[in-house]
Structures are given as C-alpha cells and as structure tokens.
Amino acid sequence: MHFPSRMYLRSIAAFLTIAIFGLAHLPLAQAEATQLKTQVPGYYRTMLGQFEITALYDGPIGLDSKLLTNASQTDIQQLLAAKFVGTSKMQTAVNGYLINTGSRLVLVDAGAGKLYGDALGNILQNMKAAGYDANQVDAVVITHMHGDHIGGLLDASGQPVFPKADIYVSKADNDFWLSQKNADAAPVDRQRHFKSSRNIAAPFIENGKWKTFAAGTELVPGVKAVATPGHTPGHTSFAVESQGQKLLILGDLVHNHAVQFARPDVAIEFDTDQKQAVATRLAVFKEMAQNRELVAGMHLPFPGIGHVGTNGAGAYTWIPVEFSPLKK
C-alpha cells in the first residue's frame, strides 16, 4: 500500500491553512437591498354603512405606569406583562378619526401638533397619505380640550390647520378650560394647560369658527355628541351611525388597554374627576359589551377600533378589529 509522503502532507496542510485564514478575512456577503427602516403610513380605513371611517395615527407617547391609580403597582405591572407591554413607559397611541359621510368630512380630534415634541403631530401627514387634504375638512369635533386633542388645530405660526372647518367643543369643557378663575385656582403645574387652551381657542373665537354644543346634539347628520364626563368636565364621546351600523368614538375613556379593560376601576391622574371617570367607563363598557357595537379610542393601540368583550364579573377585554380590505 502506498502512503503519501510526509512532505506532501505538509504541503496540503499549509495550503488549507492559507485558504481557511484567507476566507475568514473576506467580507461577508451583503444583501443588495438596503434596509429602509420606515413604517407604513398611519391610517386605516373601514366602512360603517355608507360612512367611510379613516383612523389617523398622530404618534406614540410613553406614559409612566405610576400615573394609573386605584390599584397597586404590582397589580398594574402584572396586567401590563400579561399583554406583553410591561415596560417602564406604557406606549400609548394618540389617534384621530376622519368621517366621510358622503356630504361632510368630519375630523374627530386634531392630535397634538407639536405641543409635546416631534413624536406626535402626524395626523396631517397621515391624512394626506390617506388621500385627504386639510382644506377639505368641514368640521373638527373635539372630545375634550387636552393638548393632545386640540394642539393640532394650529400650525407652528399659529394659523388654523383646517381653514374651512368649524371647531366644535362641548360647552362644559369650553367653560371649564377657558375660565381664568379656574386657571387661577388650579395647581401651578396645571395652569399651563389652561393657558394653552386659551391660546389655541383664541383665533377660532375671533373668526367665529369656535362652536359649543350640549350633550345629545347631532353635530352633522349621523354624528351625535354623547356626554361621558369625568376625564374632563365636558368630555364627550361621539355616536356615529349609518344604515343601522354604529360606532362609538370613546375619546379618553381608556388610556391603557392592558389595565383598564381588566380593571375599569383604575383611573389616571389626568382625570379631572377620577370617581366620575370610573363610573362613566363602567357604564359605557357594560353597554358596549351588551350591544356588541364597534368602539374606537384615542389611546387604544392603533387603529384603536374594535369591540368590548366580557371577561368575568366587572371585567372586560379589548378585541381589536381584524384587517379587512374594502369593497369598491
């Protein structure tokens, strides 16, 4: 039997060493396509009878879980973890809803604008991505006068973003937030909210575009104001109905889906009257779960449209809609 010579084996070993060492230093193969690292535009569209509903994403904010009250932090963290959102800051969406009735274009809440930095203030660009222009909006109806719902009414120069639109605010919220007496009586850290509300409302009051309404008012055909006080004195939800199909736009009845459906007794420090806010949430959840009607929320995970399901005595669960194409 013939065996390779020792010199031959050494030559082969040397060749393999050079080959392996060289390959280890070659650059790794890279994909030809560069990662884009951009998200899809923040809009989602659905039909309600003859009405077209477009959810618009203003952006995300991070809220400290300690803002939630009436429950221990241990309980709150367990509820957050159960929905896989147990982080130091609760990611909270800010949503608006555009309703095309066929004859009127109505925006429910205008988002924050740039009141809170660059994370929010995206409703206008998402509206454009959805195929609409600010000049087409006939009315902006406001759930309540917190900055993340009215800040987007003005641009950076203080001019109205929706030049044709009348702005509709509940009389109770108008009277509360525009009152200098209430501002003076408020804690120092909250007085800026009153000032901001007055500054935002001023141009519309001056040009006659600032309108107030009472509970039960039908602002446009098919869109009715429903009093849901507690979060603010005049906090309002909007009942939208077309061809027997119904949607209740909740406003800020919920700030965190993981906690406040399971524990609707949990309030948030932003509530003007926490006891009233809890009572309102309990009543609305019970009604929506029984009626099985669609709801939408300004701080529910985008697009924030879905149903309220029951989950035992006094407990509920959030059931988001499934993505669905629209028939032309």
Strands in the chain per DSSP E = 43-48, 51-64, 68-69, 89-100, 105-108, 139-141, 166-170, 210-213, 218-220, 223-227, 236-242, 245-249, 267-268, 294-296, 305-310, 316-320
- Mean pLDDT value of segment 196-211: 97
Q: Percent of the chain, pLDDT > 70?
A: 91
Query: What are the structural domain ranges in the chain?
Result: 43-320
pLDDT in tens, 23-47: 555 556 666 899 999 999 999 999 9
Rg (CA), the chain: 27
CB atoms within 10 A of CB 50: 12
pLDDT (0 to 100) of residue 313: 86
Q: What angle do CA 320, 323, 324 make, to 5 degrees?
A: 125
Q: What angle do CA 125, 93, 294 make, to 5 degrees?
A: 100
Fold for domain 43-320?
Metallo-beta-lactamase; Chain A (3.60.15)
Residue 112 sits at φ, ψ, to 5 deg, of: -95, -15
Task: Please state whether the predicted TM-score (pTM) of the whole model is above 0.95.
Answer: no
pLDDT in tens, 107-166: 999 999 999 888 999 999 999 999 999 999 999 999 999 999 999 999 999 999 999 999
pLDDT (0 to 100) of residue 125: 97
pLDDT (0 to 100) of residue 138: 98
**Which among 115, 116, 98 has a CA at the least distance from the CA of 107?**
98
How far is the C-alpha of 42 from the C-alpha of 126, rounded, in Å?
5
Does residue 229 contact residue 280 with C-beta atoms inside 8 Å? yes
How far is the C-alpha of 127 from the C-alpha of 41, rounded, in Å?
9
